[in-house]
Chain A
Amino acid sequence: MTGPVGRTSRNRPSLAARLGRAGVREVERTERLLADPALTAVVPETTDLPGLLGEVADPDLAALGLVKVAEAVRSDPAAKQARTALTRALTGPGSGAARLLAVLGASSELGNFVVTHPCAVRAVLDDAPAVGVDPRTVRAELLAAVGADPDADLPVAAPGGSDGVDAMRVAYRTRLARIAAADLVAADPLGTMPEIAAALADLAAAALEAALALARAELDDHGAGVRLAVIGMGKCGGRELNYVSDVDVVYVAEPRDGTAEDEAMAVGTRLAASLARACSAVSGEPALWPVDAALRPEGKDGPLVRTLASHRTYYERWARTWEFQALLKARPLAGDAALGRAYVATTQPLVWSAVTREHFVEDSQAMRRRVEAHLPRAEADRQIKLGVGGLRDVEFTVQLLQLVHGRADETIRSGTTLTALAALAAGGYVGRDHAAQLAQCYRFLRVLEHRLQLTRMQRTHLLPTAPADLERLARSVGMRVQGAAGLTDRWRSVQRDVRRLHEEVFYRPLLPATAQLSTDEARLAPEAAQARLAAIGYRDPTGAVRHIAALTEGLSRRAAIQRQLLPVMLGWFADGADPDAGLLAFRLLSDTLGSTHWYLKLLRDSGSAAQRLSAVLSTSRYVAEALTRSPKSVMWLGDDAELEPRSFDRLWAEAEAILRRTEEPAAAALALRGLRRRELARAASAQVLGQVTLDRVSASVTVAADVLLAGGLRIARHQARQALGLEADPAQMAVVAMGRLGGAEMSYSSDADIMYVYDPGADETLAQEWALQVATGLRALLVDTAAEPPLELDTDLRPEGRNGPLVRTLAAYEEYYERWSSVWEAQALLRARPVAGDPGLGEQFVALADPVRYPAGGLSLADVREIRRIKARVEGERLPRGVEPARHVKLGPGGLADVEWTAQLYQLRHAHEVPALRTTSTRDALAAAGDAGLLDRDDVEVLRTAWELALRVRDANTLWSGRTDATHVDQLPHDRRTLAGVARVMGYGPGGGAALEEEYLRSARRARAVVERVFYG
């Protein structure tokens, strides 16, 4: 160790300790550096270097830089003045030393620049202002650097060539260092940020001007035949540039008198290309930044340079929303100023009428969804610009609001994000408080971005991961004490705030003035509210404004809570297939529930409940109606367990309690029907929310019917006994479920297929009369009155169909099936399942049905032929007239009937030898046929897929439309809007109608091919 012992010993505490306290990591090395003769030659001993180093981002780096600078000014004879200035700055008062060290400690790249261009040291050290400088001064400075006359009409560079390019770049970087110095020592970096960004934009514009002068120098006539203006877009256009990013530009050119347009455009193109090269091509000095003209009309495929008229034509006719969004920031940067102003004057009216153009709603929805998309896993995303809650989110929010409201209000048209945000607040389009918070977030993110970019002058927006890098970053934004952890925490909270504030500034002002919580909040005029609602997809904004007013006005607690919630719910409704219907349903629900305590608590405390409510209300008319009907069901949305299907036992216990406590038969039956309605609503809510699979939906819909039938039968028996004056039932009686009910495969719209069986005691006549009364009584209980939805009973599957007696004894069934039964009746029996009444009798019925439906030895060839023939005939006859067969999910090719008949044929033929085929479930029967090797496994899969999709389409038809009639349920909708809605219910994204159509038709075609092969054989 060869440290400067003397120096250390004279200082108390030791130099090492002071350096350590200043944040120096490699103390010994830095001690050595500070003792370097080059440094000691210019730095007096009295200078408190450790103290100065303590203020900078990276003290190690700053110390090293300082030594290099000292060496450079010493060895470069041309830098004599710089050497003097350096000594003076390090000796005397003033902030020169702090500025220099700040730059050296924050940016290795600028440090290197100062070392290679020692003369530039003075720009960092002197007190000349770096921000708030007149742009004309900066322009003159850079033009002078290339030997061009700033006052000339067409400034032309004197040296031209690579010398000129290098001179321009040195002048640029010298001023850049000056700006960085001012930025880094600012007491309030967040407060200074807009001025810094403006200074950087002005400097870039000046560089473009100098580059244009260089480009002119390359042409013999200096391009005199063309007027060329460079228009800034993006951050440069918005006069809010950062340290390193692409400078987005668009070129507009006009021929000067006497020059043909073609020629002028050719020259303009050469100038533009050469200008870009001066800024970004390889030369002696490093490139500044890429000049990006990709935002021009037609993007990279379009001509680089266009006339004003050509620009106008393009924007009038073809431009899309995002192009206007970009154009919002257009500002003349360099070249022909008058032409630049004309360009802006021409394009601005188009920007501010973009809201009326086709596709604006879709485009703005896409913008909005992007900002509102769910947060990804926090750690995965370290993007300050494009990440969640990043700069882009703030910019999109502001620009979207500008586009929506700027049409009517000129005061909010600024291209500068913070200015625009302030104007939006002043104009009452966003809350002042929220706007201020959002602005603060934006400033923080920008400062973070600036510091990151300064380090190596790289175009980066990625937060570093290494602790040392984070530490340095924290120090550079004045968070020395909080350190890396504190910085990360703050960044996360800013991310969250940006998202939250987006909702606050975008939706909250939609509440009417009467619903404002304080006078600070924004009040949108009705027209402005309607414009904003229309932009996010409400088809009837006037109606929406009315509903919002009704929901939020007044002093009630409900209104207060809804004022809190509604803004974000408006966004959620807009994500559904039918925002208007969602809002309306919410209003109805709210009117019904009034100020019910739990409802308000649920909405307020459970974010997911409110979001789910918005989703179901704007997606499913069926659920919306069900929830309005029994508002208590809303409670389920806050609790996953409540969305789980109820078991039979649990529901039956509830049904028994109803039966015990309700004296009046009709009232009891209505209560049971209400129970079923509630369970359908539960299943529907869960299905719309994607919480349950299809088989569980069908099972729970079936269980609800089972319970109703069992309870209803008990009431009907009681009524029949009373009517006949009996003490006890004169017979055992049971209800046998058939069809979809028997298979536990019901949809919301399914009827209950049933048969009645009874077993008389002594008095057969009385028993028959009683049983008949029970059957007719049950129908009345389940179907009569509109107070609760009916469960339609279908008894046509009984022996002899409609011509047969409604009730039969067990013996009569036995005799009938022995003597008369035809194969289709055996087929119908496959799904027979005792569902209510005497369990013993049910078992007896099953025992007599089994030999019929699972015939020993399978089916005769004649029976197989008969089934095929009936099926072939039914295909033609039962399809409703005028329906396109391929879209009929029940009876069309590859539809439900095709698959079910196929499964049933296998059951009839093979259940006698394959026990697993003895099931009432289509799904199980298909699987059993596959397991037994009777059906190819691929075929089973094809059939099951098609069958499930058909059932899902039926369910979705009901859920979307709220209708349960066959016309609405059994067809894949033709109407595109309905189809799109049904697709949304089924989990397809927006515009998924065509995809659903294609998927259904394909799956049905495949199933039909299998059916033709294995069923028709």
Chain B
Amino acid sequence: MDRQQDYVLRAVEERDIRFIRLWFTDVLGTLKSVAIAPAELESAFEDGIGFDGSAIEGLTRVYEADMIAHPDPSTFQLVPWRGEEHSTGRMFCDLFTPDGEPSLADSRQVLRRTLGRAAEQGFTFYTHPEVEFYLFQAPVDPDNLVPVDWGGYFDHVPRGTGQDFRRAAITMLESMGISVEFSHHEAGPGQNEIDLRYADALTTADNIMSFRTVVKEVALEHGVFASFMPKPMADHPGSGMHTHVSLFEGDHNAFYEPGTPLELSKVGRSFIAGLLRHAAEITAVTNQFVNSYKRLWGGAEAPSYICWGHNNRSALVRVPMYSPGKGQSSRVEYRALDSAANPYLAFAVILAAGLQGVTQGYELPEGAEDDVWELTDAERRALGIEPLPTSLDEAITVMKSSELVAETLGEHVFDFFLRNKRREWTEYRAQVTPYELARFLPSL
């Protein structure tokens, strides 16, 4: 830690860095940034940087607006789109109150706290997100979205903007030390997927925040517009963020146990059971906008029902194909999450749900073999397969009575989040949509 601060100070000097951006995330997952000069860096490490948090969503109560941001030196990177000369660096921050307590409103602290809880049981939590997003022709016209191409899943699009775009984005991500596992054209026109490499959840969450920024910046450079909106076009698939998760005990993958069905250990099975049992409660966090539910309930392999399966592309929780004996890669894929979630909070509740299953020893229900979308309601009922909340309204109602989510987010974030989302729902409900006009105006 200390050596890292030292390293940052030296790097700033050697590379002639003129600005350092201190990044943090508000409760809704929006990146916030404060720039400081290199001269301020040392005192920023020692005392933190004070700022007025009252203007920032969910960050603080009006009464105690003062916040202290402590940069985390292990996250130091150059910001590549600012050019090589007089470059800019960035670090993520943890937020504290003026008397040195971790801020109850900081989502990074929420994840840290939850990871700490897992660590008490000897677990570290790794995640591997597959981030989907759309590229549109710029400038975007909300009434007439034009994707940059009309390719499909894994399509190679000749002279494709997407391809160049992906190459540029990946180069930039790699230059920030963010490893990319995989990238390809997704099913929707202009839709892309980039997979971030497996890492501990805090790093991954930081990486997702950087990733969104990089994608937006590269899009600007390429004269296109990138969006992480969960469901921008009704007729095309939404942008999810399927996330592979696993627990490690030291160097050992705690999900892995050779000789068991799917080589899944008891910890792994209980973890999945926890995800399933608490799935509805955490949905408001993993799918936080009214638009998220258009994706969740838009068909086309969307994980609308609470069930798990092995390689079942319609299940909420999927245990991916395994290579026998490759125990370290045992993992579980949670498919509800979308690209617009606050990754810190989302990872925290996913971990908390799974951990609850592990500590309480939940039994894993039978897996789903069929495509659950093909089943009738009665069949699903008979199989005990419940749906996820169908709207933000339903999701926040379920979340409101969740001790698990309250405990994980902390009372402050929990309360703010619910109030904010209730307001979003109320505003949304008051809208008259083009659909309604088209459908009813002529006939009524």
Is A820 positioned at the interface, with any CB of B under 8 Å from its CB?
no
Q: Which of B1, B64, B99, B411 contacts A998 (CB 8 A)?
A: B411
Residue contact B411 to A974, C-beta cutoff 8 Å = no
Is A1009 positioned at the interface, with any CB of B under 8 Å from its CB?
yes
A1001→B411 CA distance, assembly (Å): 6
Digit string of A271-304 for contact with B (CB within 8 Å is 1, else 0)? 0000000000000000000000000011000100
Q: Nearest CB to that of A884 among chain B residues?
A: B61
Residue contact A318 to B101, C-beta cutoff 8 Å = no
Is A587 positioned at the interface, with any CB of B under 8 Å from its CB?
no
Q: Which residues of B contact A1002 (CB under 8 A)?
A: 406-407, 411
A596→B243 CA distance, assembly (Å): 75
Q: Which residues of A contact B98 (CB under 8 A)?
A: 976
Which residues 108-155 in B have Cβ within 8 Å of A in the complex? none
Q: Which residues of B contact A976 (CB under 8 A)?
A: 64, 97-99, 101
Q: Which residues of A contact B101 (CB under 8 A)?
A: 976, 991, 993-994
A975→B63 CA distance, assembly (Å): 8
Q: Nearest CB to that of B100 among chain A residues?
A: A991
- Known interface pairs A358-B46, A991-B101. Does A313 touch B6 (Cβ–Cβ under 8 Å)? yes
Residue contact A298 to B61, C-beta cutoff 8 Å = no
Which residues 987-1005 in A have Cβ within 8 Å of B in the complex? 991, 993-994, 997-998, 1001-1002, 1005
Residue contact A1005 to B411, C-beta cutoff 8 Å = yes
Digit string of B385-427 for contact with A (CB within 8 Å is 1, else 0)? 0000000000000001101001100111011000000000000
A303→B2 CA distance, assembly (Å): 12
Is A968 positioned at the interface, with any CB of B under 8 Å from its CB?
no
State the Cβ distance, A371 to closest chain B Cβ, in Å. Answer: 24
Q: Nearest CB to that of A1013 among chain B residues?
A: B401
Is B159 positioned at the interface, with any CB of A under 8 Å from its CB?
no
Residue contact B104 to A998, C-beta cutoff 8 Å = yes
Is A322 positioned at the interface, with any CB of B under 8 Å from its CB?
no
Q: Which residues of B contact A358 (CB under 8 A)?
A: 46-47
Q: Which residues of A contact B3 (CB under 8 A)?
A: 298, 302
Is B203 positioned at the interface, with any CB of A under 8 Å from its CB?
no
Q: Which of A318, A884, A980, A997 contacts B2 (CB 8 A)?
A: A318
Which residues 934-956 in A have Cβ within 8 Å of B in the complex? none
Residue contact A998 to B410, C-beta cutoff 8 Å = yes
Q: Which residues of A contact B6 (CB under 8 A)?
A: 313-314, 317
Q: Which residues of A contact B46 (CB under 8 A)?
A: 317, 358
State the Cβ distance, A136 to closest chain B Cβ, in Å. Answer: 38
Q: Nearest CB to that of B99 among chain A residues?
A: A976
A994→B410 CA distance, assembly (Å): 11
State the Cβ distance, B397 to closest chain A Cβ, in Å. Answer: 12
Is B5 positioned at the interface, with any CB of A under 8 Å from its CB?
yes
Which residues 30-52 in B have Cβ within 8 Å of A in the complex? 42, 46-47
State the Cβ distance, B104 to closest chain A Cβ, in Å. Answer: 7
Is A886 positioned at the interface, with any CB of B under 8 Å from its CB?
yes
Residue contact B63 to A974, C-beta cutoff 8 Å = yes
Q: Which residues of A contact B406 (CB under 8 A)?
A: 1002, 1005
A977→B64 CA distance, assembly (Å): 12
Residue contact B401 to A1009, C-beta cutoff 8 Å = yes
**Main SS at interface, chain A:** helix
- Known interface pairs A884-B61, A1005-B415. Does A997 touch B5 (Cβ–Cβ under 8 Å)? no
A313→B2 CA distance, assembly (Å): 10
Q: Nearest CB to that of A357 among chain B residues?
A: B46
Q: Nearest CB to that of A886 among chain B residues?
A: B415
Q: Nearest CB to that of A893 among chain B residues?
A: B415
Residue contact A298 to B2, C-beta cutoff 8 Å = yes
Digit string of B47-87 for contact with A (CB within 8 Å is 1, else 0)? 10000000000000101100000000000000000000000
State the Cβ distance, B416 to closest chain A Cβ, in Å. Answer: 10
State the Cβ distance, A889 to closest chain B Cβ, in Å. Answer: 14
Q: Nearest CB to that of B2 among chain A residues?
A: A318
Q: Which residues of B contact A1009 (CB under 8 A)?
A: 400-401
Q: Which residues of A contact B412 (CB under 8 A)?
A: 1001
Interface residue range, chain A: 20 to 34
Residue contact B99 to A1001, C-beta cutoff 8 Å = no
Q: Nearest CB to that of B412 among chain A residues?
A: A1001
Of listed B2, B97, B412, residue having the most chain A CB within 10 A: B2
Q: Nearest CB to that of A303 among chain B residues?
A: B3
Q: Nearest CB to that of A310 among chain B residues?
A: B6
Q: Which residues of B contact A302 (CB under 8 A)?
A: 3
State the Cβ distance, A574 to closest chain B Cβ, in Å. Answer: 18
State the Cβ distance, A450 to closest chain B Cβ, in Å. Answer: 37
State the Cβ distance, A975 to closest chain B Cβ, in Å. Answer: 8
Q: Which of B61, B400, B401 contacts A974 (CB 8 A)?
A: B61
Residue contact B63 to A884, C-beta cutoff 8 Å = yes
Digit string of A962-998 for contact with B (CB within 8 Å is 1, else 0)? 0000000000001111001000000000010110011
Residue contact A974 to B64, C-beta cutoff 8 Å = yes
A939→B403 CA distance, assembly (Å): 15
State the Cβ distance, A898 to closest chain B Cβ, in Å. Answer: 16
Residue contact A317 to B2, C-beta cutoff 8 Å = yes
Which residues 300-321 in A have Cβ within 8 Å of B in the complex? 302, 313-314, 317-318
Q: Which residues of B contact A313 (CB under 8 A)?
A: 6
Q: Which residues of B contact A991 (CB under 8 A)?
A: 101
Q: Nearest CB to that of B61 among chain A residues?
A: A884
Residue contact A318 to B5, C-beta cutoff 8 Å = yes
State the Cβ distance, A185 to closest chain B Cβ, in Å. Answer: 50
Residue contact A994 to B400, C-beta cutoff 8 Å = no
A442→B5 CA distance, assembly (Å): 41
A998→B5 CA distance, assembly (Å): 32
Q: Nearest CB to that of A297 among chain B residues?
A: B2
Q: Which residues of A contact B5 (CB under 8 A)?
A: 317-318
Residue contact B415 to A994, C-beta cutoff 8 Å = no
Q: Which residues of A contact B410 (CB under 8 A)?
A: 998
A358→B43 CA distance, assembly (Å): 12
Which residues 9-51 in A have Cβ within 8 Å of B in the complex? none
State the Cβ distance, B2 to closest chain A Cβ, in Å. Answer: 4
Q: Nearest CB to that of A974 among chain B residues?
A: B63
A884→B62 CA distance, assembly (Å): 9
A993→B102 CA distance, assembly (Å): 12
Q: Which residues of A contact B104 (CB under 8 A)?
A: 994, 997-998
State the Cβ distance, A896 to closest chain B Cβ, in Å. Answer: 18
A976→B66 CA distance, assembly (Å): 11
Digit string of A336-358 for contact with B (CB within 8 Å is 1, else 0)? 00000000000000000000001
A998→B46 CA distance, assembly (Å): 28
Digit string of A496-539 for contact with B (CB within 8 Å is 1, else 0)? 00000000000000000000000000000000000000000000
State the Cβ distance, B9 to closest chain A Cβ, in Å. Answer: 9
A977→B101 CA distance, assembly (Å): 12
State the Cβ distance, A307 to closest chain B Cβ, in Å. Answer: 13
Q: Which residues of B contact A980 (CB under 8 A)?
A: 99
Q: Nearest CB to that of B418 among chain A residues?
A: A1005
A977→B98 CA distance, assembly (Å): 10
Q: Which residues of B contact A314 (CB under 8 A)?
A: 2, 6
Q: Which residues of A contact B2 (CB under 8 A)?
A: 297-298, 314, 317-318
Q: Which of A974, A975, A1001 contacts B415 (CB 8 A)?
A: A1001
User: What are 22 A-to-B residue pairs whose CB atoms are below 8 Å?
Assistant: A298-B3, A302-B3, A313-B6, A314-B6, A317-B5, A317-B42, A358-B46, A884-B61, A886-B415, A974-B63, A974-B64, A975-B64, A997-B411, A998-B104, A998-B410, A998-B411, A1001-B411, A1002-B406, A1005-B406, A1005-B411, A1005-B415, A1009-B401
Beyond the given A884-B61, A886-B415, A1009-B400, could you list 13 further A-B residue pairs with CB under 8 A, ordered by the A residue number?
A298-B1, A298-B2, A302-B3, A317-B2, A358-B47, A884-B63, A974-B63, A975-B64, A977-B99, A993-B101, A1001-B411, A1001-B412, A1002-B407
The 8 A-B residue pairs with the shortest CB-CB distance in the complex, in nearest-first order: A1001-B411, A318-B2, A974-B63, A976-B99, A994-B101, A1002-B411, A998-B411, A974-B64
Interface residues of A (CB under 8 A from B): 297-298, 302, 313-314, 317-318, 358, 884, 886, 974-977, 980, 991, 993-994, 997-998, 1001-1002, 1005-1006, 1009
Interface residues of B (CB under 8 A from A): 1-3, 5-6, 42, 46-47, 61, 63-64, 97-99, 101-102, 104, 400-401, 403, 406-407, 410-412, 414-415
